[in-house]
């Protein structure tokens, strides 16, 4: 008799989950940085205030992503986007934000 394989049960939520907690946190931080930059510097919001607030509340500064973690922990505030002014890679973020927001 052959070896039996374990039964793996998935729920619908499991089938559509993307990434590890670190990957999801990185993506959240990138989205928040782009949205804050577009709002603060370009006067071109890419998210509504409600969308920004909901996304900001998902961010977990205790997660180590390997990039600017200390800066995020010390500067990020979920109730405002003004923290973007002290971003360590502001020029690079600006180039990316302009591409994402279609502002030339």
Q: pTM for the whole thing?
A: 0.80
Q: Which of 51, 63, 56 is nearest to 25 (CA)?
A: 63
Rounded to whole angstroms, the Cα distance separating 89 from 36 reads 14
Q: How is residue 3 annotated by DSSP? A: P
Burial of 69 (0-12, 13-18, 19+ CB in 10 A): middle
pLDDT tens track for 66-78: 999 999 999 999 9
Mean pLDDT lowest among 12-16, 33-37, 40-44, 64-68: 12-16
pLDDT tens track for 15-30: 566 788 999 999 999 9
């Amino acid at each position: 008799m052959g070896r039996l394989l374990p039964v793996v049960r998935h729920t619908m939520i499991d089938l559509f989950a993307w990434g590890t907690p670190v990957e999801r946190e990185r993506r959240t931080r990138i989205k928040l940085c782009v949205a804050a930059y577009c709002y603060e510097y370009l006067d071109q919001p890419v998210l509504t205030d409600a969308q920004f607030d909901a996304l900001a509340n998902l961010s977990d500064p205790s997660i180590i992503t390997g990039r600017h973690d200390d800066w995020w922990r010390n500067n990020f505030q979920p109730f405002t986007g003004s923290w973007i002014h002290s971003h360590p890679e502001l020029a690079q973020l600006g180039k990316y934000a302009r591409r994402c927001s279609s502002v030339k």
